[in-house]
Amino acid sequence: MTVLTVSQLNRYIKAVIEEDKRLSDLYIKGEISNFTRHFKSGHCYFSLKDDGGLIKAVMFKSSAGDLRFGPENGMSVLVRAHLGVFERDGAYQLYVTDMQPDGVGAAAVAFEQLKQKLLSKGLFDATHKKPLPRFPRSIGVITSQTGAALQDIISVISRRYPLCELLTAHADVQGENAVNLLVGALKMLDGECDVIIIGRGGGSAEDLRVFNDETLAYAVYKARTPIVSAVGHEVDYTICDFVADLRAPTPSAAAELVTPSADELRQRVLGYREFFSHYGRHLIESNSEKLQKLRNSPGLSSPWDEILNNQQRLDFFSQSLYNNKILGRLEENLRAKAALLRSLNPAEVLSRGYSIVYRDGKAISKAAGLKPGDKFWVRFCDGSVSALALEDIAPPIKP
């Protein structure tokens, strides 16, 4: 009986599996679970499962770096791999070299993932959109110098608004170095013109891939100059379209959006000229009539007569004012004398509790004017009574 060590058994199983050519190139479909991307190494560790089983898998950094989308738990994928054994643990697993979303292209998944990521960070918010200048003095264009898009833009701008200056910056619009060239061209033109058009003509989804790059998206978002994205045809949308200040369906449409029409401006100027010409004639005629009325007015035709009339009116008003002052003083003096008379009126004195003594029709002001037995009258404020002087004389009232 042969006795094996654990290491020898694992090594044997590994050799058996790796020598089986049927297990060297497999296509496996399953659902991702327990996905982890190692921070330092960049390797991806996960499991593939279906309703009946589960197998561990690893995708090394050299292969994971080519992924066009971000694997996530619960995502159904199709992987290309070979089966191998991790000898230390005695565990067999898949070594994945390629991965595609099951039923959906990797580019489409990557597009949606990046779109949701940038949307959550506010790069698409309308509050960050800059308005386009109404009459740009200079327009920047970033595209391939050899592409038809540049010629279309030049043709439209030359026809619609030849007054502005056109600044072009060449950049490849597809290929490995396209993103770096587009970002560099954008930094070069940013701040040097009033508005920038960035884009290319139509193409396949693969041709438009560089305009779905995150680095380019942030460069467009951070630009100080308003950016118009003109990528592909009307049915094509890219990440650059969502981040830009305005999206145009084609490069020709972008050129129309950033420029006013010289013909329309000319017609508008002619309309203003006709309006102000008509309005000016009306204004002159109206003011001429007003001037004629002023010319025939008494103040201008006979100024001295008008001055004399106004002087007479001024004298009249001055005299009236003087008379009013005199009348005011007389009225005030009259009120003062009336108040004095009211205070001296005997009836006013009697109403305050005093009385008057009469004898033989004469007023008696002193007690010595009466003798015992004299008959006299006492007058009050509401009438008189008769009285008879007695012998006893009451003492004088102290004040």
* Residue from 182, 197, 192 nearest 150 by CA: 197
Provide the CATH topology of domain 6-104.
OB fold (Dihydrolipoamide Acetyltransferase, E2P) (2.40.50)
pLDDT in tens, 288-343: 878 877 777 766 666 776 677 777 788 777 777 777 777 778 788 888 877 777 77
Is residue 360 scored above 90 in pLDDT?
A: no
31-37's contacts with Cβ under 8 Å and 24+ in sequence apart are 31/74, 31/75, 31/76, 31/77, 32/71, 32/72, 32/73, 32/74, 32/75, 32/76, 32/77, 33/73, 33/74, 34/73, 35/71, 35/72, 35/73, 37/64
DSSP per residue, 353-380: T--EEEETTEEE-SGGG--TT-EEEEEE
pLDDT in tens, 145-199: 988 899 999 999 999 988 889 999 999 998 889 999 999 999 999 999 999 999 9
Quote the DSSP letter at residue 54.
E
Q: What pLDDT was estimated at residue 25?
A: 87
Q: What pLDDT was estimated at residue 157?
A: 92
pLDDT in tens, 100-149: 888 666 677 778 888 889 999 999 999 999 999 989 999 999 999 988 89
Is residue 398 scored above 60 in pLDDT?
A: no
> How far, in Å, CA of 109 to CA of 159, rounded?
41
Average pLDDT over residues 344-348: 70
> How far, in Å, CA of 51 to CA of 34, rounded?
16
- Please work out, in degrees rounded to the nearest 5, the angle formed at the alpha carbon of residue 271 by the alpha carbons of 268 and 275: 140
> How far, in Å, CA of 202 to CA of 161, rounded?
25
> How far, in Å, CA of 325 to CA of 329, rounded?
6
| Amino acid identity at 333 | N
Give CA torsion, residues 230, 236, 241, 245, to 10 deg.
60
The residue that leads in pLDDT, 383 or 301, is: 383
Domains of the chain, by residue range, sit at 6-104, 119-260, 263-296, 350-388
pLDDT in tens, 46-102: 999 988 899 999 999 999 888 878 888 888 888 899 998 888 888 899 999 988 888
Q: Averaging pLDDT over each range in 90-104, 159-173, 255-269, 351-365, which range is the top one?
A: 159-173
pLDDT in tens, 200-247: 987 777 778 899 999 999 999 999 999 999 987 666 688 999 999 999
Strand pairing category for 54-59 and 91-101: parallel
Query: Max Cα separation, the chain?
Result: 181
Burial classification of residue 133, based on how many CB atoms lie within 10 Å of its CB (0-12 exposed, 13-18 middle, 19 or more buried): middle
Instruction: Let me know: does 220 contact 197? Beta carbons within 8 Å.
Output: no
Instruction: Let me know: does 259 contact 161? Beta carbons within 8 Å.
Output: yes
If you classify domain 119-260 with CATH, what class do you get?
A: alpha beta
Phi-psi category of 122—alpha, beta or left, where left has phi over 0 and alpha has psi -120 to 50?
Answer: left
Average pLDDT over residues 361-373: 79
The residue that leads in pLDDT, 398 or 295, is: 295
Contacts of 154 (CB under 8 A, 6+ apart): 166
Q: What pLDDT was estimated at residue 86?
A: 86
Instruction: Let me know: does 100 contact 106? Beta carbons within 8 Å.
Output: yes
